[in-house]
Amino acid sequence: MNKTRFEAFSDGVLAIIITIMILEIKVPHGEEFSDLKPLIPKFLSYVLSFIYVGIYWNNHHYLVHGVSKVNGKILWANLHLLFWLSLIPVATGWMGEHNFAKASMTLYGIVLLFSSIAYFILQRIIIVNEGDGSVLAKAIGTDFKGKLSTFLYLVGIVCSFYNEWISGGCYFVVALLWLIPDKRIEKALSK
Amino acid sequence: MNKTRFEAFSDGVLAIIITIMILEIKVPHGEEFSDLKPLIPKFLSYVLSFIYVGIYWNNHHYLVHGVSKVNGKILWANLHLLFWLSLIPVATGWMGEHNFAKASMTLYGIVLLFSSIAYFILQRIIIVNEGDGSVLAKAIGTDFKGKLSTFLYLVGIVCSFYNEWISGGCYFVVALLWLIPDKRIEKALSK
Amino acid sequence: MNKTRFEAFSDGVLAIIITIMILEIKVPHGEEFSDLKPLIPKFLSYVLSFIYVGIYWNNHHYLVHGVSKVNGKILWANLHLLFWLSLIPVATGWMGEHNFAKASMTLYGIVLLFSSIAYFILQRIIIVNEGDGSVLAKAIGTDFKGKLSTFLYLVGIVCSFYNEWISGGCYFVVALLWLIPDKRIEKALSK
Amino acid sequence: MNKTRFEAFSDGVLAIIITIMILEIKVPHGEEFSDLKPLIPKFLSYVLSFIYVGIYWNNHHYLVHGVSKVNGKILWANLHLLFWLSLIPVATGWMGEHNFAKASMTLYGIVLLFSSIAYFILQRIIIVNEGDGSVLAKAIGTDFKGKLSTFLYLVGIVCSFYNEWISGGCYFVVALLWLIPDKRIEKALSK
């Protein structure tokens, strides 16, 4: 089974997701600097989502690197992950257009939550496939960071009903948590 | 002849098709949850088409994996398939915007029908190229699932003139049929 | 020098060009079949341009296959070609939106003309690089088909000032001429 | 660590950035040649940005070619570069829509400035990684051209407050400076 195409297709979809978000930042109608002002929340939400997709690409990279054999289950678990990630541009656009309004923060959190669940499923299927004693399984271990992220998304979603800034803070903290690529896998694989 | 580029180009086009469909889900103007309501049919049609393109990518993956030599005929049969698949975003968008209206279900069915015919042509050309005694030819066999799908698309198209839901049901059943990747080829090739 | 990346980038750009043209076919506002009628010229121009980009991809594929070493000149000649090809979606959209109006046929012809010149330049640079005695140089030979195409584009451009259909006929004939992949190179290289 | 995917993802993002800029050149509403007139500044700014992204792709190509090992730091420095480059289409669109208005020239310069800084950071991290005695480090040397470009962007930004044409001239000169691929690295690596 051809891992190269599996990676190439995932890279293609992720590259498109990360890039089409920029299409939400519409060219302003006026020609003054002040016309750029409504773009600020759009720009900030673009930065956050760019980092998120970057994180997913990085971790996906490490995870798939440790895969020795791709099968049908892995293909679909991967498409499932790409599906949720493909919703990030819409959620980002809504968040940016309405200045981080409460409902948009909830939706953003839901998309992140389901993406993290989809990633978890993909990771589980790959570990089962590789065997519990595999290098990858040991490298991922209890996946504390993954579980913490999912928990923080849930907190963010609940908070978004009361205060959009606490909610946004949660999503921001998760992004910071992951900005450092998954050293666990990196270390284990480089042994 | 360079199979890598053939695969890379197909992956690129398929990755773009699967991702630009999200551009049809326009960011809602309001900032309440209720403003997301008109997006529901768009979201559902996006899910269905995402699965369809995913299926085509999976099957294309297996089919081309079994190809030993690419030639001009295969290149054009492949472009012909990509052409019909590239119409899926338009048909999906129309379906989603008008809440699965009858005419949109007909169009969607027609695009799926021609995609399946194009896939069939590509498959035939590849089998002729590889020889009837090849592993691939045996793996595909009578292609019952392929013929059943084409039949169901036809039923869906005819039904769409009377009832859009029966029509949608047909397209949904075909998607389910194929969600499992083509085990026949997978098995035969892994021998 | 890394030919793989050169091909991957070209494939990426060509895949995007061929696919974003579909974004010009906007989802119709009404939900009846009759609402699809204004899409017919858009659809026809999409078909023509899809074939053209497909032809360029095919010929690019064969041409680059025969390249043994990529250098800075080839990189820029290739980007120059991609630049002109990237204008095809705009010209196609204009042609489709105004039902093959005269001016749009002129523009379309100009874009095709410059694309063919850019391809010719790329081909020349590659041949000079490979040497006049190389397999590729012999395979391309006098490039009668290429010169005929350039001539037909010129005829099409001139005709577009008087009659859009003769002009369209010229572009259509060139597409037919090239639909068959470049057997000359294919044959020579497979020796 | 998988350099292929690193390159493939970068190629994908760069290919999309260079191609979606064409989406800013909206199909004109009228069908006369005169309707193309407002597209002229858009076209010119497209040409400039196409050359810029082409330059970045070329230099990125050479730079990464000299990398023997990719790590987390390089991945993020690369994403940082892609982030700034992804803003080029927005800045280009604004510049083209308002006929190179002063504020748009400032923004364009800022995006170019930060892109060049991001490239510089990536280059530094790669050199540190490879070692100061590496072929790549010697090939890049004092990077006079890089420093000159950054200086010219700064000049362009300052000038844009007074005169948009001097500003545009600066950006144009930098593009010319780099149109020739980085011979220093090319030469050193081919030894």
ipTM of the complex, rounded to two decimals: 0.89
Chain C interface includes D179 (CB < 8 A): yes
pLDDT score at D143: 81
The answer to whether the CB atoms of B2 and C65 lie below 8 A apart is yes
Q: Name the neighbours of D, counting chains with at least 3 Cβ pairs within 8 A.
A: A, C
pLDDT score at D179: 79
In tens, the pLDDT along C137-151 reads 887 777 888 888 999
**Residues constituting chain D:** 191
In tens, the pLDDT along B144-172 reads 888 889 999 999 999 999 998 999 999 99
Q: Exposed, middle or buried: residue C180 (CB in 10 Å: 0-12, 13-18, 19+)?
A: middle
Nearest to A16 by CA among C53, D15, C180: D15
Higher pLDDT, C186 or D58: D58
Choose among D9, D87, D102: nearest Cβ to A15: D9
Above 80 in pLDDT, residue B191? no
Confidence bin at D145 (pLDDT 50/70/90): confident
pLDDT score at A144: 81
Nearest to C13 by CA among D14, D153, B177, A72: D14
Confidence bin at D191 (pLDDT 50/70/90): low
Dist. CA A95–CA A156, nearest whole Å: 14
In tens, the pLDDT along D70-108 reads 888 898 999 999 999 999 999 999 999 898 999 999 999
pLDDT score at B139: 77
Dist. CA B23–CA B19, nearest whole Å: 8
Nearest to A75 by CA among A1, A15, A146: A1
pLDDT, mean of residues C79-99: 94
Instruction: Output the pTM of the full model.
Output: 0.91
Determine which of C7, C9, C46 to mutate to test the interface with D (most D C-beta atoms within 10 Å).
Answer: C9
pLDDT score at B183: 62
pLDDT, mean of residues C62-81: 87
Confidence bin at C38 (pLDDT 50/70/90): confident
Q: Is D38 helix (H, G, I), strand (E, B) or coil?
A: coil
In order of A11, A132, D142, the CA distances from A125 in angstroms are 20, 11, 49
Give the pair of three-digit tokens for residue A58: 């990085």
The answer to whether the CB atoms of A97 and B47 lie below 8 A apart is no
Q: For B80-117, give the DSSP string.
A: HHHHHHHTHHHHHHHHHHTTS-HHHHHHHHHHHHHHHH
pLDDT score at A189: 58
Name the one residue in this structure whose structure tokens are 């950054």.
D150
Angle ∠(C110,C114,C117) on CA atoms, nearest 5: 140
Q: How many CB atoms lie within 10 A of CB D25?
A: 20
Confidence bin at C106 (pLDDT 50/70/90): very high
D window 6-25, beta carbon within 8 A of A = 6, 8-9, 12-13, 15-17, 20, 23-24
Residues of chain B contacting residue A53, judged by C-beta atoms under 8 Å apart: none
Give D115-118 contacts, CB < 8 A, sequence gap 24+: D115/D56, D115/D81, D115/D84, D115/D85, D115/D88, D116/D146, D116/D149, D116/D150, D116/D153, D117/D150, D118/D77, D118/D80, D118/D81, D118/D83, D118/D84
Residues of chain A contacting residue B186, judged by C-beta atoms under 8 Å apart: 1, 71-72
User: If you average pLDDT over every residue of chain D, what do you get?
Assistant: 88
In tens, the pLDDT along B75-127 reads 899 999 999 999 999 999 999 988 899 999 999 999 999 999 999 999 999 98
Above 90 in pLDDT, residue B135? no
Number of DSSP helices (H) and strands (E) in chain C, helices first: 9, 0
The amino acid at residue A41 is: P
pLDDT, mean of residues D158-165: 92
pLDDT score at D171: 94
Is residue B44 within a helix (H) or strand (E), and if so which, with residue range?
helix B39-65
* List of chain A residues with pLDDT < 70: 1-2, 180-191
pLDDT score at C58: 87
pLDDT score at C183: 62
